Chains A and B, each alone.
Chain A
Amino acid sequence: MSRARLLFLQALVAVVAIAIWHIGTSVPLFGVKLLPPFFFSTPYDVAARVVKWFVEGSIWKHLWITLIEAMLAFVIGSLGGVTIGFWFARKPLVAAVFDPYVKMINALPRVVLAPIFALWLGLGIWSKVALGVTLVFFIVFFNVYQGIKEVSPTILSNARMLGMNERQLMRHVYWPSALSWMFSSLHTSVGFAVVGAVVGEYLGSAAGLGYVIQQAEGVFDVAGVFAGMFVLAAFVIVIDTLVTAVEKRLLVWRPLAAETRT
């Protein structure tokens, strides 16, 4: 399918969805509106709100805060995940000892941690960063661990026959393999960094996109809630596009799905 055609179809989905929303909220069917504006707002109101935020400039501060929190969560979570992942993969005893605890903590719904982090770290950005870290860390950790464990035994034997010592194995074999696994989960971990930030803000803060949505909900301002969600969605799409660009650079050595299909 050509790129233009794909873009057209993607746009068509948005147009149809907005049209249904518009008709449902403005055209009465047998005297009742299928989507009462009080609960669903209207496309026009939501668009007007988004424009107003950007024109007045009030939204920038919140976007900036959420971005900072997500980035900090991503960087700290990734560093921790890589370090611990490497450590566990190279020391099977350590991995075996900690295995049940890792599973336990990972199984914990992170939302229950939010109040604790707020208690420990206050209502500023660090409690949100901490929440994001708990999400990002595990994704990166599991991928790095797997990436080291799953190095092909033939490649390892080859590396050793070529004379690599432990340090060189690390640098030329384990590290690239672990990174490739980590990068292949980049979308997920970046996404979770944003989720951590927004959920943290939603549960208690004074700034950020989560805070904006929570404030609007508090006064039944549905247009505000929807506008907040749209800004968040656009924000995530922009970040995801950046991640895709970074990924393309970093994983040039990997066969593309399209190539292997031929």
Chain B
Amino acid sequence: MRCRILSATLLLAGCGGPLSTLAPSGPVAAEIAWLWWAMLAGAGVITLFVLGLLALAFGRPRETSTRRWTHGLGLWFSLGVLTLLLGAGLVVGERILPRDDGAVTVRAHAFQWGWSFTHEGADGAPVESAGLMHIPAGQPVDILITSEDVIHSFWVPRLAGKMDAIPGRTNRLRLIADSPGVYAGLCAEFCGRGHAGMRFDVQAHADWPPENWPPEPERGRQ
């Protein structure tokens, strides 16, 4: 709920858009967005503090304790802030990691320049699609990411962070879509001439597994 309100106000502030990390539509992306706002606030305060100190320097010379600057501010102050931040980052990182919990998996295979996706059909047979990926809404999905040729990167900014598609490896990324709808995705790692156009969409479905493949597209972009 809090996220809803937050993202509604943000849309007004110009933070929206189909690829905006600041308009998260699932808990993974939301946790990261939250981290960003916290860091932004902290960074703002620190910037003002440093610039204030700088402004105060213009004046008559004064006695200052060396240790206060090098140890007090330089060492302990920064170490304190950074420890806090690192801790928060690691905790969030742990929470959004893929787990062995039997989540739905979908394969995303990148090539120059496009994407093909392999889902598990109702009868267990693989179902392929190109350019449009299907996932269930409201539950964790693990994407298994591979590449045909060069390195690409799978990214659906409103659902989760990005993960590279590297030839010879299979990478795993967890994402969760709060509600059904279509989410925009793209290739984030430079992969040659067609890089800018290497877009795809992710459709989240309320019913899973879908009755028939390919599933009915549900109207409307989120």
Chain A partners chain B: no
Residues of B within 8 A of A (CB): none
Residues of A within 8 A of B (CB): none
